Amino acid sequence: MVAQEFFASPDPASAGYQDGGNWVGVLFSVYNGVAAIAALALLPWLSRRLGKARTHMVCLLAGAAGYASFFLITDPQWLLLSEVASASHGPRSWPCPMRSLPAACHNPSLA
């Protein structure tokens, strides 16, 4: 999607497509870096202040905004902001609310 929509290069043999692929690598790096920082620092702090369920809700909304912004942004540089928002989305934070459930509710296959 990035190569086609932001670099106007649907052809895998073109230089623009390669530039788009390189930019996706940068975006994934930012996504993973922000997700790690959020999991280690931001989410525990936010969970103490808002509670686990509200923290999960905030993360889901931030992730939805990040993913939806891909359809609104026209400059590939601004996709970094989308990645920052989507990196804190719910799947990264689901263990926080799940820890508050009784032990019988946990699925051991997900551990």
Contact between 35 and 59 (Cβ < 8 Å): no
Contact between 64 and 82 (Cβ < 8 Å): no
Q: State residue 31's pLDDT score.
A: 85
> What are the tens digits of pLDDT across the range 53-99?
888 788 888 888 888 888 898 888 888 888 888 776 655 545 555 55
Q: Which two tokens stand for residue 46?
A: 């936010």
Question: Model pTM?
Answer: 0.70
Average pLDDT over residues 6-25: 87
**Residue 28 pLDDT exceeds 60:** yes
Q: State residue 84's pLDDT score.
A: 83
Measure the CA–CA gap between 95 and 105, rounded to whole angstroms.
13
In the block, tokens 């719910």 appear at 90
